[in-house]
Each structure stands twice: as structure tokens, then as C-alpha cells.
Structure 1
Amino acid sequence: MRSVFVGLVLFALVPLNDAACFMALLKGGATHCQDLLDKTWHPVGSSWTNSKCDQCDCSADGMRCCNGMPTVHVTGDCTVVYDYDTCTFDVIPKKNGTVPCTAMSSGK
């Protein structure tokens, strides 16, 4: 299992062409993937959502995780508040509750 973990860490450092996703390759014969954020183990063939809302899949080839929360760009005096318990977000005014906020999301 130790060599699987080392392999996961090394390959997780290599970004793929999709900046919002990454893949960690598994050693042949591995039966589980380890979520690099939560340190939880998941069997090959499973899918899960980790504590930062990343959507992950474990296959015989490796683990793929993609950002489950969009990148949100706001206008005006607004801010984005992410809720990682529900994997949702709100765009709210920083000071004046009557100022409308406009948001554009990229990603998911």
C-alpha cells in the first residue's frame, strides 16, 4: 500500500490538460485509491465527493478528481461564500444588502 500512496502523490503533481481536474495513476493490481485531500480510501469502481466538493472516481488505471465547485467572478462590492457541507455557494453584498450582485461562473 505504501508504494501505491507514493505513486498517487507523485502522479497527482502532474497536471492534465483540464486545469480543474487531476489524475493519479495506480500501480498495477491496486484495489483502492486514496483521496489526497481527505486521506480516505475508496475501492476501484467507486465514486465519491470529498470535503472540498471535488468529484472523484477510482478506476483500475487511477483516480480522477475534478473540481465540483465553480470558479465564480463577481462584480461590484460583492463576495462569494462557499458552503462545502452542501457544495453550494451564494453571491452576497459585502456591505450594503440592497446593492445587487452579478456573478459569472466558469467551470462546473
Structure 2
Amino acid sequence: MPKWSVFVVLVMCELIPLNNAACSLTLTVEPWTDVPRCQDGVDKTFHPKGTSWTNSKCWTCTCLQSAMRCCHGCCDGLPSKLHFSGDCEVKYNYETCTFKVFQKGNPAIECPYSATGK
């Protein structure tokens, strides 16, 4: 097997976990300072390299060496996409990173749904 095909296989394996999640990678903010850090784009808070956190919209973020990776629906938190019938609606609770899908106008009747990116 040629060396380049091994590289392609490795890259494809790295992409598999991302196929059901909405993720972003941004450059680290202020990498020239004594304590390089990342700024959360949602909460506008700063975090030192090597730390992870969940922001107020339930995105899980990690401050890497030269970039910040944020993922909505990585493994915990809220799914990136919900699919349910038109007579239903979703209510998100960002304090607990949970959600409920229910019949419009009647939160007591839960609706079936499918989720991706969780």
C-alpha cells in the first residue's frame, strides 16, 4: 500500500467523529502573551491553553496549543440537529443542556424525534 493511502485512511478516520456533530476550529486568541488563551465566541470568556469548558449554549470547547475547538453535540450537551413532526416543537434548557420535544400548545404530550450530533 502506498504511503499516501495510509495518510488518506488516517485523515478519514479522524473525520468520522465529526460527521454527526457541528464543530468549529478557530485560531487561539493572543498567542503572543505570557499566558496564551482562547476566547469563547459565545460567552466572550477567556480560557487558558489545555482547558475545556461548556459554554452557555452547551457547546463543548477545548483550548488547544494554537487553536480552539468547539463542538455542539460532541458527546454530551445538546444534539446539533433534531427531526420531529410539524405539529411538535422543542424547548431547550441551556442551564442543564437538556431539551424536550412536545406537541405544540401542550407540553404534557411528548413527541417522538430523532437526533444527530449527540
TM-score tier by shorter-chain length is: 0.7 to 0.9
Check if 1:50 corresponds to 2:61. no
Query: Max radius of gyration: which structure?
Result: 2
Higher relative contact order (CA 8 A, sep 6+): 2
Count of residues in Structure 1 that have an aligned counterpart in Structure 2: 92
* TM-score of the aligned structures, taking structure 2 as reference length: 0.68
Give the TM-score taking structure 1 as reference length: 0.73
Query: 4+ residue stretches of structure 1 with deviation over 6 A?
Result: none
Match of 2:46 among 38, 41, 58: 41
- Describe how 1:2-81 pairs up with structure 2 within 5 A: 20-26=22-28, 28-29=31-32, 31-68=36-73, 69-70=78-79, 71-81=81-91
Q: CA deviation at 1:106?
A: 1.1
For 1:53 and 1:41, how far apart are their aligned partners in 2? 16
Structure 1 vs Structure 2 CA RMSD: 2.3
Q: Tell me how far apart the structure 2 counterparts of residues 99 and 86 of structure 1 sit (CA, whole Å).
A: 21
1:95 to partner: Cα distance? 3.0
Partner residue in 2 for 1:89: 99
Q: How much identity, in percent, do the aligned residues show?
A: 49
